[in-house]
Amino acid sequence: MSKILISGCGITWSRQERPSWARVLKICGVDIDDQAGPAISNQTILNNMIESVLENDYEQAICQLTSDRKLDIELTNDARREAMAGDGIRNFTHSDIWPSSESTDHECKRMFYDYIYSPKLEQSDIIYKWMLLDRLCAERGIKLHTVLGYGIPWKNKHSIKIRTDHDYNIWDDYVNGPYYQHHDHSLGKKNTVPNKFFQIYLAKKFNTQFLKLDIEHKLEKFDA
């Protein structure tokens, strides 16, 4: 079976306590290189995929873009580590970065959004990095599939160059569908990962729509 590269936020990340569609595919025997991570930004998602494509061989790749306005911070000093530890929602690290998302518990984060954050530059960065990823995949014969984890309010006209269904995003599919009634609300805003029932549905959806792997019989066992 072909090796598949994936990246995305917590919706996709397979190495967590909560199930994800990527873990469902792994259980079905799919060889996955998981470069996703909890609450990480589009910058990190795309960087991880570009670096992986440059260094490894794959037959397919799935890029799950996340919401905008996220910020990943390298923990290069004690002041940053202190800010991370005091965050009420994103007080964890992943691959030596603080995926601080859009939390504003600390003054430094509030100041970032008040004085530094530049939405036009962020959107340009997402679009042009995706275009680079797409070109690298094409040069190496990798089928690239892209799906939106959340809706992005695009202002850049070149966003249409990202080959995806711009009318679909995973989170809206989840909260507006039948599986959301089983969502775990016990952690409040800390849990934005869809439940296992939706993740099974998502694994089936992705396989039917674009992966087209011979694992339907294995996926059906999750319904038992």
- Name which residue leads in pLDDT, 187 or 164: 164
Q: Report whether 7 contacts 49 (CB < 8 A).
A: yes
Instruction: Give the whole-angstrom CA distance, residue 90 versus residue 25.
Output: 27
Helix (H) or strand (E) holding 139: helix 119-139
Going by C-alpha positions, the residue among 43, 30, 39, 47 that lies closest to residue 92 is: 39
pLDDT of residue 123: 98
Cα separation, 17 vs 105, whole angstroms: 25
Q: How far apart are CA 133 and CA 128, in angstroms?
A: 9
pTM score, whole prediction = 0.94
Residue 75 contacts residue 97 (beta carbons within 8 Å): yes
pLDDT on residue 122: 97
Domains, the chain:
3-69+119-223 (3.40.50.1110), 71-116 (no CATH)
pLDDT in tens, 14-45: 988 888 999 999 999 999 999 999 999 999 99
The answer to whether residue 1 scores a pLDDT higher than 80 is no
* pLDDT value, residue 191: 75
pLDDT value of residue 164: 98
Amino acid at 73: I
Helix (H, G, I), strand (E, B) or coil at 24: helix
Instruction: Give the pLDDT band (50/70/90) at residue 153.
Output: very high
Summarised one tens digit per residue, pLDDT across range 172-199 is 999 999 999 988 888 777 678 899 999 9
* Average pLDDT across the chain, whole number: 93
pLDDT for the residue 87: 86
Pairing of strands 97-101, 71-74: antiparallel
Structure tokens at 89: 């929602």
Residue 188: per-residue pLDDT:
73
Question: pLDDT tens for residues 97-142?
Answer: 999 777 778 888 889 999 999 999 999 999 999 999 999 999 999 9
At residue 32's C-alpha, the angle toward residues 175 and 183, to 5°, is 20
Q: What is the pLDDT of residue 169?
A: 98
Taking only the tens place, the pLDDT of each residue in 38-93 is 999 999 999 999 999 999 999 999 999 999 999 999 999 999 999 899 888 888 89
Distance, C-alpha 60 to centroid of its chain: 16
Distance CA 67, CA 152 (A): 6
